[in-house]
Amino acid sequence: MSPVEGIEAIVGLIPIKLHLQKLVGRSQLHSLVLSHNHLIWLLMDSPSSSSKCQHPTSLSTLTDHQRSLIKGYLVDSNNKSYGISLFFSSLHSELSLGSRIIDNFLDHFSFNLSNKGKNDKICLQQLDNMVLKLSSSLSMAIVVTDASIKINIATSISYMYLANHPLTKTVYHVAFVTSNKAKLFVIRCGINQACIKENVSKIIVITDSIHVAKKIFDTASHSYQSHAMAIPSKLCCFFASNQDNSIEFLEYSS
């Protein structure tokens, strides 16, 4: 082990080689956030390109031998683009002013934060009372989510209750993700399940991470953007189907 590697191990830093690889990978994604009328898109054959006709000088016109001789930045960027979701595009239509969920359906969603001054027993009693009260409504879907990580494996659990329906429990296991990403993922799955149920006009999402739930409506660029774009897309359809449809996020400690 080199002195540099020894220091990295002691302070818990990732190896400098991996850090440099990460920076190089990110730099190759820069071209993907350029406007789709930018000249560089004429040279790329990425499936995320909006151009239907390839430019005569695009990379797709090269022979295998020509491609093997080119080891440049553009080829690396083009290869990197495969598998990248359009949800990561800063120019996505649902992120444009006037098309965002916060522009069109601001009064359809709300957050109810827990009172930090109350003890756990009081909070649990209030939660029980609320669920019993709401569970009698045929148009109410209650979704309870939680996630935890052990030995780099995230376990996400979603419970959904609708009156006159059996309790639905769904468990997901994902490796090497952050706790917040696992929590947002399971919120996404719970909302998806509730939105497809007939006659549901209000969804109650109970979570211990209200700050994570708020990321759904954050249009700024962040590491959860793939989920934060997929959830509003589903909710927009849910809200548009009936002007009385709504969703409420409740925070309770797990």
Give the CATH number of domain 95-251; options: 3.30.70.870, 3.40.50.1000, 3.20.20.100, 3.30.420.10: 3.30.420.10
pTM above threshold 0.75: no
Give per-residue pLDDT as tens, 182-212: 899 999 999 999 998 888 999 999 998 888 8
Please count the residues of the chain. 254
3-state secondary structure of 9: helix
Torsion of CA 156, 189, 203, 124, to 10 degrees: 0
- The model's pLDDT over 129-175, given as tens digits with 9 standing for 90+, comes to 777 777 778 889 999 999 988 888 889 999 999 888 888 899 999 88
Q: Return the domain boundaries, the chain.
A: 3-84, 95-251
Amino acid present at 86 = L
Per-residue burial over 212-240, b if 16 or more Cβ lie within 10 Å, else e, is: bbebbbebeeeebbbbbbbbbeebbebbe
**Residue 194 neighbours by CB under 8 Å, 6+ apart:** 141, 143, 160, 200, 203
With bands split at pLDDT 50, 70 and 90, how would you rate the model's confidence at 245?
very high
